[in-house]
Structure 1
């Protein structure tokens, strides 16, 4: 008979996969706090498990969007390769970060990204108009060619490589897939809409998180168990549901829902630290 503990781990994985499927990110920002505060894992154990769950859930979504031809594949590869190289470095650095500093960095990142995504959603229409016209501050660095493929000019590749390297470091240090960096960067520097940016993000997250997960396994940091498998199954289920809903919800709702969720995570972590210090 399935134990209550395994059911709880399964249910905890659902919102992680759902957020990944809907927004191309966000799931990782839910996974680590869930593992730490709901299941009592130390950050040094939560980060590797988060990387595995996020990588496997994203892989399912990536297969879905690749089959549907929604992915901008070339920029995805350019984005992911430097992240693959820096994720193991981030993992080694993260293992040396004290728990309090880790929680502070994670909460600050969640609050910052939530705020930026809310502002991006509010100005999305204006940004799309500027990007399409190629004028103003919203003009894209990476432009679409005649066949709808991105032109990988040197400035475009430089931005994607730098963003990928930073994403890999964040992935290793904080145990996040980096979708909260990938989606805004893709929308800011390319002419991809949110749905295609989310699809492309799933491929990038899969590759970068897999790099971090493999490093964690090699270093013996992965707390694998039946509970972890249940968490993965929950992530897969949430991913399937998220992809079914993603094409049916307006872009602004996706962005604002994402921003509220991750800002809420940041606030809860800040409150937990404050109450923990006072108690």
Structure 2
């Protein structure tokens, strides 16, 4: 299963390179089901893997002129605040066993996976649904951009996901960015969010296997290179529905596995 996990890790970077999001949605299931990582620890590992991969993509998009620093900062600053509050305050206070129904325990790990599966399914619908990316506001609405940034920070803090599936629409409709610039700017925001979240986990003493993390990140980096090169020739919007169906199936699988077969 580990060999398949390394192969699947390429898809993390491939998705980030092609559509600027979605890769983090796959990271947790890959870590938990293919590498048997504890879900709580997997959220920390996910932050590193996704952040490292997004950073590598930022350089390519910077050279292509796709990074909008001002929009990224308006989004990232409140997002980082939310991440730190969630991971370093609220997340630590959630008990390992929340409650028991008959003989079935609702644990923190189960909650993480179920919430993650629901977010995967929500993200998949936004990817599958056809949208008109040309319908944008007449200017950048920085207040709304900051508010959404704070919401994405909550998702990133709790689930260890970069939130690209939320960032891309926000940049399209509230920062008035074309798709390719939204993808590049999204990668910068994902890097900032993920790196701050991971640094916070280091501060509270989360045990980290760096050799493992670097090996997974290297595979995701390879996928990022491939995805970025493909994105120069293909429209990422055309690939979103395909990826969306894949994410939907994964979300349903997680719910069935965790509730029915756990």
- TM-score tier, shorter chain, comes to 0.7 to 0.9
Matches within 5 A, 1:112-151: 112-119=122-129, 122-124=130-132, 128=134, 130-131=135-136, 140=137, 143=139, 151=140
**1:110 equivalent in alignment to 2:120:** yes
String of CA shifts for 1:68-93, please: whole Å, max 9, x gaps: 21112210111111112221222233
Find runs of 4+ consecutive structure 1 residues off by over 4 angstroms. none
Question: In structure 2, what is the equivalent of residue 185 of structure 1?
Answer: 170
Structure 1 position 188, deviation (Å): 2.6
From 157, 174, 178, give the equivalent of 2:159: 174
Question: In structure 2, what is the equivalent of residue 53 of structure 1?
Answer: 49
Other structure's SS at 1:70 match: coil
**Quick one: distance in 1 between partners of 2:143 and 2:86?**
21
**Quick one: distance in 2 between partners of 1:23 and 1:74?**
21
- Bigger drift between 196-205 and 219-228 goes to 219-228
From 241, 246, 263, give the equivalent of 2:231: 246
**Quick one: distance in 2 between partners of 1:170 and 1:123?**
23
**Quick one: distance in 1 between partners of 2:38 and 2:251?**
18
String of CA shifts for 1:16-73, please: whole Å, max 9, x gaps: 1111111111111100111111111111110101000100110000111112211122
Question: In structure 1, what is the equivalent of residue 105 of structure 2?
Answer: none
**Quick one: distance in 1 between partners of 2:236 and 2:52?**
25
Question: In structure 1, what is the equivalent of residue 102 of structure 2?
Answer: none
- Bigger drift between 232-241 and 258-267 goes to 258-267
Other structure's SS at 1:203 match: helix
Question: In structure 2, what is the equivalent of residue 91 of structure 1?
Answer: 87
Change over 3 Å in CA distance of 1:94–1:11 after alignment to 2: farther
**Quick one: distance in 2 between partners of 1:267 and 1:8?**
20
Other structure's SS at 2:234 match: coil
Matched residue count: 248
Structure 1 unaligned segments of length 5 or more: list them.
Answer: 132-139, 144-150
Question: In structure 2, what is the equivalent of residue 134 of structure 1?
Answer: none
Q: Is the 8 A contact 1:23 1:258 kept in 2?
A: no
From 32, 35, 43, give the equivalent of 1:36: 32
Change over 3 Å in CA distance of 1:81–1:221 after alignment to 2: same
- Bigger drift between 259-268 and 200-209 goes to 259-268
**1:256 equivalent in alignment to 2:241:** yes
Q: Is the 8 A contact 1:22 1:242 kept in 2?
A: yes
Across the aligned residues of Structure 1 and Structure 2, the Cα RMSD in angstroms comes to: 1.9
Other structure's SS at 2:260 match: helix
- Bigger drift between 199-208 and 88-97 goes to 88-97
Q: Is the 8 A contact 2:40 2:112 kept in 1?
A: no
Question: In structure 2, what is the equivalent of residue 137 of structure 1?
Answer: none
Question: In structure 1, what is the equivalent of residue 145 of structure 2?
Answer: 160
**1:195 equivalent in alignment to 2:203:** no
